[in-house]
Chains A and B, each alone.
Chain A
Amino acid sequence: MQNKIEVSNFNFYYGAFQALIDLNIPIRARQITALIGPSGCGKSTFLRCLNRMNDTIAGTRAEGQVLLDGEDIYAPHLDVVALRQRIGMVFQRPNPFPQSIYDNVAYGPRVLGMARQGSLDQMVQKSLENASLWGEVRHRLKDSALELNPGQQQRLCIARTIAVQPEVILMDEPCSALDPVATLRVEDLMRELVNDYTIVIVTHNMQQAARASDWTGFFWLGRLVEYGRTETIFSSPKQELTEAYITGRRG
């Protein structure tokens, strides 16, 4: 199985504090990788390292390698904007722009000069279709995105992310603000999207990680304790710490 991203000997610091310690983790292409672990274990920091979103925080420093299709994303002179087009992010709380539904999805392609108006309509429709939202919003594309319910808003954010045709989608607890039905819709959507994209999701919901992912990495105090097939991690983990965490005895 091909690796989309390969992380080797990766360390990350917030000033003097080392948040990530000697990480080695393969992210498989067109698979869903879930990152689990207690709050503060470094999983969200790691997610943000994958598209260099931590660069904007003063005093941070990264060491080691993160290869995207064999290219080091921390190489000097790398175009970070282009990187973030290839590796998009969906956040914990739905954060649509205070604009129309249409403009939310069209925003990225417009800024990146990806499409003219005619094809932009098609791009918006395709992105909304791929985010399983088209049927619900096709007659109200000019309405404000803020009028959508939270589950729809999150799917809109996913549509906005995929509108710029990324290769990898990072999701930071994308369902934590959603009810169970909206959560399942996002999980179903992830399953469809993974045919075309590589997905990495941070979640605190063990059942979600077990249900939705193909691979699971367990983080503890900045280290990757265990990584493997999701079924194996949740039925027969090798490390006692993983066992204790997923059975609710530590964390």
Chain B
Amino acid sequence: MALGKIKADTLEHSTAGSLDTKFVVNGSAKAWVIGSAAAALGNSLNISSGTDDGTGTYHYDYTTALANSNFAGTVTSEVAGTIGSLDNGAHSKTTTNVFVAITNSSASAEDRSHSAKINGDLA
């Protein structure tokens, strides 16, 4: 492959100390998405599709799977007064997709644009 590559286990700053690159590799998001109220994708990384599952419920499939389903996710609604969360109550975590739920202050599902970020291990 013709891509440039720097191999390093440590990054060192002149005064601020050093950082093991495994923190960079393991700590960066492995997938993220900005989705509309109808699951249309505004921007993303490592997502193949969004699915509008119903009012306020969505799921996003990864292009490259995670190694295991023990991932951490952050979901936010992009509209004040509504809450975004991983929809783990209705769906088990898998290595291939993430379920998202948006609710209003009464805990009722509501269609809102949202964003999600997944940290985990890649397969």
- A is bound by B: no
| A interface residues with partner B (beta carbon < 8 Å) | none
